[in-house]
């Protein structure tokens, strides 16, 4: 956790993302034009969110296997870092929407809210919101850790099932890779994304994710210090 190489990597990658993202050449499609640069920020946020939630899920399972309160602290802070990136994803998405779909395509905002990907993101944020409310309602730390781990495992599985269900219910999507395309996520599909974009996009995803992990670990470390007496006693048992 205290090793610094990955923090330096994150820093360098993000410097590259910001400078390269704004200065390197990008393909200009109608309507999108230069806004495609938002790919490095908006889409990367969602990737980071999903990865951070998955790390939180992993620690929740580990808590139920070992009952070590440290795992609970990890799960909690990775979830909150994931939420932060989810909110940032919404903000960057909102900026993107307002200059493309709303301004150029004449879509209404209420139409945009029914987007499959937005529904998925909203469910994700609601679930982790509920997770924090649940945590807040306990005074006993062991009970809190156990119950919230159960909820987060259940909710995470349901969330990822949702990802496959929603495209079947909500027809059409403004996002690329919806019904019209080959399906799946175009950012992951090698054929759908221009190689010029890939040059910055993959480093951006890695950089943002590492930043998220960095934020989470800082908070985990402070909590581990403040909770030291508690952890010590529970660990002995």
Partner 1 sequence: MFTSITALVKKDILLELRQQHTFYGILLYIASTIFVLSLSVDEPDAKAWNGIFWVIQLFICVNAVAKSFLQEGRGRMLYYYTLVHPAAFIVAKLLYNLVLMLFMSIVSLLLYTLFIGNPLSNIVQFIGIAVLGGISISLVFTLMSAIAAKAQHNAALMAILGFPVILPLLLLLMRLSRTAFNEVFKEGAVLQLTGLIIGLDALIIAMAVILFPYLWKD
Q: Which residues bind to partner 1, rule: CB under 8 A?
A: 64, 119, 123, 126-127, 129-130, 133-134, 137-138, 143, 146-147, 149-151, 153-155, 157-158, 161-162, 165-166, 168-170
Contact 60, 152 (CB under 8 A): yes
CB of 45 to partner 1, least distance (A): 20
* 78 vs 128, beta carbon nearer partner 1: 128
* 195 vs 237, beta carbon nearer partner 1: 237
CB of 44 to partner 1, least distance (A): 24
CB of 141 to partner 1, least distance (A): 13
CB of 40 to partner 1, least distance (A): 29
* 84 vs 166, beta carbon nearer partner 1: 166
* 146 vs 175, beta carbon nearer partner 1: 146
């Amino acid at each position: 956790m205290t090793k610094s190489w990955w923090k330096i990597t994150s820093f360098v990658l993000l410097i590259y993302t910001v400078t390269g993202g704004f200065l390197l050449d990008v393909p200009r499609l109608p309507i999108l034009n230069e806004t495609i640069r938002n790919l490095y920020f908006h889409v990367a946020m969602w990737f980071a969110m999903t990865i951070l939630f998955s790390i939180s899920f992993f620690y929740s399972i580990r808590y139920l296997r070992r009952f070590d309160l440290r795992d609970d602290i990890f799960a909690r802070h990775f979830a909150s870092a994931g939420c932060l990136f989810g909110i940032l994803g919404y903000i960057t998405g909102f900026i993107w929407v307002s200059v493309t779909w709303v301004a150029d395509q004449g879509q209404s905002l209420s139409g945009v809210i029914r987007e499959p990907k937005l529904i998925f993101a909203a469910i994700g944020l609601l679930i982790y919101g509920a997770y924090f409310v649940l945590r807040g309602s306990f005074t006993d730390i062991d009970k809190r850790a156990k119950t919230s781990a159960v909820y987060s495992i259940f909710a995470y599985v349901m969330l990822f099932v949702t990802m496959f269900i929603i495209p079947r219910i909500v027809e059409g999507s403004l996002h690329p890779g919806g019904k019209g395309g080959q399906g799946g996520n175009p950012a992951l599909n090698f054929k759908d994304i221009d190689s010029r974009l890939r040059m910055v996009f993959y480093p951006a995803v890695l950089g943002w994710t590492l930043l998220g992990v960095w934020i989470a670990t800082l908070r985990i470390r402070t909590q581990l210090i403040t909770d030291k007496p508690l952890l010590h006693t529970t660990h002995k048992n």
